[in-house]
A and B are shown apart, each in its own frame.
Chain A
Amino acid sequence: MVKLQRIQRPKTQRGKRALKEREPKLIENARSSLCIRGNKTNNIMKILLKDLHLLKSPYSKMYQKKNPDIFPFENTSKLEWYCQKSDCSLLAYVTHSKKRPNNLVLARLHNHIVMDMFEFELNRQTFRSLDDFKCVKFAPGNKPCLIFHGELFDSEAEYKRLKCFFTDFFRGETNMKEIDLNGLEHVITFTLDIQTKLLTIRVFHIELKKSGHRIPRIELNEIGPHLDLTIRRTKLASDDFYKKTLKQPDAIKAKKVKNVSTNELGTKMGRIHMEKQDFNQLQTRKMKGLKRNLPTDDDQTQEKRKKIDQTNKE
């Protein structure tokens, strides 16, 4: 049976603003992640989900209750609906079962349709959560520094996409031109071992200490969740879909201004291309003396001249 979905028209100004916030824009908002539990989770996975939610602090929504009948690799419609409801384009889904223990699914969506999906197994023994590190962490909403170790991230297609995915997941706000170096408070490192294909995620806090010269000495303190993940299944977007997501609207593209250049001194130089001119018909300043048909000295002017000469003598 087809469900009729009424188009919601906002009744209040606040509702109108909320709907406008969700509209597609030229420069999109920061990607929000939806942290959601499956039907059965154990305590470790709940803690992991909470940590992922905190890492992405204001750009993250957490659903409290468990959600049955979600099988991400078979049918993504329920997850897509939840993401549409809460206006999120990233997904962190957590379950635990006998067949797939300590399961974490990370996904990203484009236009509320699942694009890439990665399933990981968390190593329960080596997991340490945010609470296990007793130190000051970073301010909410800060952008992290992302470091990817491992040749696989550049060579194989699947891992290239994984790198792109993680950048998208943890990036945060993108609409800015400059970043203050002092504000880069934390680093997230992703290390992929070639033999074991084990992905380790560590989060560090950057401390700038005094060194002899202008550039400060950097010290890293581990703060955040300490994860060892093994990749289970992946579902990557097809090439056509991926290409579609990379399209940018024309309005964003930088407009090339022709015939204007800046030289090394900083002066703005322009080129003007002239059309063919007939120099006989040019429009110039009109000076009476240069007129072709000059009036000759007649009686009036001669008398005027005499008068002037007389006054000058006196």
Chain B
Amino acid sequence: MKMLSRKALCKSHAGQDSSYFLGWQEYEKNPHDPVTNPSGIIQMGLAENQLCFDLLESWIATNQEPTGFMTRGGSIFKELALFQDYHGLPAFKKELVGYMAEIRQNKVKFDPNKLVLTAGATSANESLMFCLAEPGEAFLIPTPYYPGFDRDLKWRTGVEIVPILCSSSNKFKITPSSLEDAYQHAQKLHLKVKGMFITNPSNPLGTTLSLDELNHLITFAIHKSIHIVSDEIYSGTVFNSPSFISIFEALKKLKNLENTDIWSRVHIVSSLSKDLGLPGFRIGMIYSNNDMLIAAATKMSSFGLVSSQSQFLLSKILGDKKFRKNYMKENQKRLKNRQKLLVLGLNKCGIQCLKSNAGLFCWVDMRHLLDNNTFDAEMELWKKIIYKFGLNVSPGSSCHCAEPGWFRICFSNMTKETLDLSVQRIKALVGSRATNIDC
């Protein structure tokens, strides 16, 4: 075997051994299908929004021109085919910043020149790590967090993650002491902290950060002279109050910090994968007021440019302001209803969820279903859920949750009927425990 690099051979970084990914593998072996495989495993571990495809499909059906590379001026196929400028298609960036502002109730304005397009938020997050930290330096991340970060932020960059431990005792909110503890922990590990990486709205919690929490983060970042990366990929999935507060809004609101030093150390990541439900299109972005970062990230985007075809199509979809507004409203409504379905269904089984107002999933409290308060017990329960009751859910340990017994369950990547079925299966699971049948 010809020798490969250490990075290629290293398996554990990727977290590929994590139950998060193992669950997917099991699902793939035996996927549920209402007609052909009704007893198969239902995928509840994939945070994908399939609720509004009909709206997009009908737009595409009534707007044939963009899909045919046609504009009023004729075909622009040639221009698009040749367009590989890493500054991105201007028409697309213009609509994108308008859309991003609208999601934030226009409380923040974005400049297209400070926006870098990347092939998905996955690429954006990795690029940011390359740009903000040297190999061996660290970012603090509140737990629980998206399992993919272990791979995306660390693998090729050599950056380390140090968790900011959050607890159910205060609904997993970020506190000044948890920040300080994480920082001290990093010091003990001789890791230089370069910044904090937050996901707002949170994955897997499904909650938006409060102004207080944002204040803590900003104060901490100023005090320690570090960066804040705010992954706001779920900002378009907020379906209930409290309303979403972007980190830039908090900066302005709290301390009127525009154009101060911290202003150039706060960066946003987003994408069209969650709100518009278009993960296959691979459209992500980095936004920052830091000129050097933007210059570096723009050039680095050469390694993950967005297809000009997709940029063009999305510029037309997002440019249809009426459609956009209606889509956002409808999307919110459907997500809210879907979440309610799952929450009520779980409640009826005696299972509570963390009160959430965003995201494509619920953070579910199954602590009372554990044999004991350990991660081993959580694994046992997870195995039971997937193998005996056919549901791929994500155990809290895969999200680095500090306490066992929490699970992330997605609700927007399936039909209503399938969701109902999954609730029935959970009911059966709870029932099996009540009657003490060892399944």
Are A and B part of the same complex? no
